[in-house]
């Protein structure tokens, strides 16, 4: 969505319900074609998805540290890299977490946390606004969408919305965002649900079911729509208050932690019986160009404070859900609009980058690390990025199909392309008909499914790769994350394959060959030298 379009849609759409609980206001969303589609599945389910946005672009390499690449990483970012003796190691993997993430480390040890390595998309955009729009719309880098990544499905399910809502089948908001932040995730071709009742006329019209007449013009139609949404908003405010009132006590949450404050309300509403399936919360400050860490104590500093808030808040949230008997219904995910560069800058910070890890958490999640540690080369340029291993839309597709039971036949229409199904949800939680795959420790690391010879090369090289059967994608990326060539994109029978690549346009330098086959993927460093 272009900036001017977003601003035009956001002003009437981000309508706030009056303050309800603990000083927080709510936005109730139903017309949003981005996230509310997740509630429109053909299968009845009480499952919930919680999205945590880390605004600003989180530094993935100081969040999830590739221990087997530590020496080269130290060369690239010696002024901010965490002391290897203080890193929280993840059992079964040569990977660790920032020491501030003790909360997530505890969830990992409880088998309720999955780390997904190097998540991104081809041709990454380094603008905060545009990169966020790409993540929240599910668009390609060069594509501007006016519908959300699951809103395309919701449009078919509820073509008459908001007429007739709320109703007995769905009396509650379809998605809730807590706080005043208006995310582009909730903007689409329709106006978002939610409006404060601010004057007596609106109040009495609400309780009497009256909508003031408006002139038969385009402006009049818009005014009628807004008044209708206003009435619905007050009804949603009532059900939110009712759900919150059903939970008299909760576990303790960290103090002075805005993310914890938000998640505490989410837990209360889930346990209170609200049918809302999508919650979105956020925490900002991750644009760490300077003073990310403290010299001589790199485990401290601005980034450490942020990560501690994230880890502690999620751990408290999961503990609270268990206390309230609602934990088995909830899966959550963190994301940030991009990662940071491999090489740090002279200001004790990092600049805008490409792929980065994210976390998925919950009792229904396969615990472990999905993907290999990113390879850090011995020589790193200032513009070098982590190569993408997983497309973020593969995660969306997997959540839709295996957590919310969206039929597989609908996924391509919703996500717009075919994306691999990943081993995120435990098979016992996976919907009937979903693609079941298992996460095994170091599954990808132990078996080379792609190689090439010669390497380095100048005029050409031969790739050898394995297919387990099914769709195979073989691509070449440069060190900045730009897609340079697609060599294979099609179905292959099980077996070994050779492919000759003749170089006609790539300059000398380091590149990455990425092979994807079903749930498996692998990235190999290749070098062109003249």
pLDDT digits (tens, 9 = 90+) for 371-393: 999 999 999 999 999 999 999 99
Are 321 and 425 part of one and the same domain? yes
Are 476 and 423 part of one and the same domain? no
Asked if residue 198 has pLDDT above 60, the reply is no
Nearest Cα neighbor of 63 from 407, 261, 339 is 339
61: domain CATH number is: 3.40.720
Are 405 and 510 part of one and the same domain? no
Q: Examine residue 483 and state whether it is found in any structural domain, yes or no.
A: yes
Asked if residue 1 has pLDDT above 80, the reply is no
Q: Examine residue 445 and state whether it is found in any structural domain, yes or no.
A: no
Asked if residue 221 has pLDDT above 60, the reply is yes
Q: Examine residue 436 and state whether it is found in any structural domain, yes or no.
A: no
Are 140 and 274 part of one and the same domain? yes
- Residue 19 pLDDT grade (very low, low, confident, very high; cuts 50, 70, 90): low
Q: Examine residue 442 and state whether it is found in any structural domain, yes or no.
A: no
What pLDDT does residue 105 have?
98
Are 524 and 421 part of one and the same domain? no
**Residue finishing a domain among 398, 429, 460:** 429
Mean pLDDT of 120-127: 96
Mean pLDDT of 302-325: 98
Percentage of the chain beyond pLDDT 70 is 76
- Name the percent of the chain in helix, strand, coil, to the closest 5: 30, 25, 45
Q: Which helix H or strand E contains 262, and what residues bound it?
A: helix 258-271
- Residue 369 pLDDT grade (very low, low, confident, very high; cuts 50, 70, 90): very high
Asked if residue 202 has pLDDT above 50, the reply is no
Are 55 and 134 part of one and the same domain? yes
Q: Residue 165: beta bridge partners? A: none
Q: Which residues of 84-100 are buried (b: 16+ CB within 10 A; e: fewer)?
A: eeebbebeebbbbbbbb
Q: Examine residue 137 and state whether it is found in any structural domain, yes or no.
A: yes
Are 345 and 416 part of one and the same domain? yes
Helices 218-245 and 200-208, packing angle to 10 deg: 80
Encode 349-414 in three state secondary structure: CCCECCCEEEEEECCCECCEEECCCCCCCCCCCCCCCCCCCEEHHHHHHHHHHHCCCCCHHHHHHH
Instruction: Say how many domains are in the chain.
Output: 2
CA distance 434 to 403: 9
Are 470 and 425 part of one and the same domain? no
**Residue finishing a domain among 397, 429, 461:** 429
Are 369 and 489 part of one and the same domain? no
Mean pLDDT of 130-138: 91
Q: Examine residue 324 and state whether it is found in any structural domain, yes or no.
A: yes
Bridge pairing between strands 113-120 and 48-54: unpaired
510: domain CATH number is: 2.60.40.3080
Count of positions (residues) in the chain: 530
Are 416 and 462 part of one and the same domain? no
Q: Examine residue 298 and state whether it is found in any structural domain, yes or no.
A: yes
Asked if residue 6 has pLDDT above 70, the reply is no
- 528 or 196, greater pLDDT: 528
User: The pTM is what?
Assistant: 0.86
Q: Is 269 helix (H, G, I), strand (E, B) or coil?
A: helix
CA distance 142 to 125: 9
pLDDT in tens, 45-85: 789 999 999 999 999 999 999 999 999 999 999 999 999 99
What strands lie across the sheet with 460-467, from one edge to the other? 450-453, 460-467, 495-502
1-15, 227-241, 255-269: range with highest mean pLDDT:
255-269
Bridge pairing between strands 356-361 and 113-120: antiparallel
Are 362 and 458 part of one and the same domain? no
Q: Examine residue 93 and state whether it is found in any structural domain, yes or no.
A: yes
Are 286 and 350 part of one and the same domain? yes
Structural domain boundaries enclosing 469? 450-528
């Amino acid at each position: 969505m272009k900036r001017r379009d977003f601003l035009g849609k956001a002003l009437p759409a981000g309508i706030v319900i009056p303050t309800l609980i603990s000083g927080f206001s709510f936005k109730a969303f139903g017309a949003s074609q981005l996230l509310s589609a997740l509630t429109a599945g053909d299968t009845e389910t009480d499952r919930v998805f919680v999205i945590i946005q880390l605004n600003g672009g989180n530094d993935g390499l100081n969040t999830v540290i590739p221990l087997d690449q530590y020496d080269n990483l130290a060369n690239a970012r010696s002024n901010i890299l965490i002391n290897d003796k203080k890193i929280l190691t993840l059992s079964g993997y040569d990977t660790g977490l920032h020491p501030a993430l003790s909360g997530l480390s505890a969830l990992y040890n409880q088998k309720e946390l999955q780390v997904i390595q190097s998540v991104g998309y081809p041709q990454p955009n380094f603008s905060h606004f545009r990169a966020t729009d790409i993540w929240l719309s599910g668009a390609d880098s060069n594509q501007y969408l006016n519908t959300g990544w699951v809103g395309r499905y919701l449009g078919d399910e509820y073509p008459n919305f908001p007429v007739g809502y709320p109703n007995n089948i769905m009396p509650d908001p379809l998605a809730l965002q807590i706080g005043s932040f208006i995310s582009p995730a909730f903007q689409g071709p329709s106006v978002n649900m939610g409006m404060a009742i601010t004057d007596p006329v609106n109040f009495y019209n609400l309780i009497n079911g009256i909508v003031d007449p408006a002139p038969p013009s385009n402006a009049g139609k818009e005014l009628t729509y807004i008044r209708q949404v206003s009435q619905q908003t007050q009804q949603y405010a009532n059900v939110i208050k009712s759900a919150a009132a059903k939970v008299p006590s909760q576990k303790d949450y960290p103090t002075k932690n805005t993310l914890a404050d938000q998640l505490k309300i989410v837990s209360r509403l889930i346990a209170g019986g609200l049918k809302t399936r999508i919650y979105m919360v956020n925490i900002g400050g991750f644009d760490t160009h300077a003073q990310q860490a403290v010299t001589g104590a790199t485990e401290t500093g601005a980034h450490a404070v942020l990560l501690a808030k994230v880890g502690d808040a999620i751990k408290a949230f999961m503990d609270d859900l268990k206390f309230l008997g609602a934990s088995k219904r909830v899966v959550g995910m963190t994301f940030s609009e991009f990662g940071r560069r491999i090489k740090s800058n002279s200001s004790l910070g990092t600049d805008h980058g490409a792929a980065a890890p994210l976390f998925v958490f919950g009792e229904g999640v396969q615990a472990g690390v999905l993907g290999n540690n990113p390879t850090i080369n011995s020589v790193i340029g200032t513009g070098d990025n982590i190569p993408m291993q997983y497309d973020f839309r593969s995660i969306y597709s997997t959540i839709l199909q295996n957590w919310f039971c969206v039929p597989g036949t609908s996924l391509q229409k919703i996500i717009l392309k075919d994306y691999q199904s990943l081993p995120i949800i435990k098979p016992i939680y996976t919907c009937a008909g979903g693609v079941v795959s298992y996460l095994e420790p170091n599954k990808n690391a132990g078996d080379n499914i792609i190689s090439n010879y010669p390497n380095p090369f100048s005029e050409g090289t031969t790739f050898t790769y394995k297919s387990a059967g099914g769709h195979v994608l073989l691509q070449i990326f440069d060190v900045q994350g730009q897609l340079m060539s697609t060599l294979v994109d099609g179905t292959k029978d099980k077996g070994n394959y050779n492919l000759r690549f003749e170089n006609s346009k790539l300059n000398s330098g380091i590149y990455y060959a990425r092979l994807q086959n079903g749930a498996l993927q692998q990235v190999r460093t290749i070098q062109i030298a003249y």
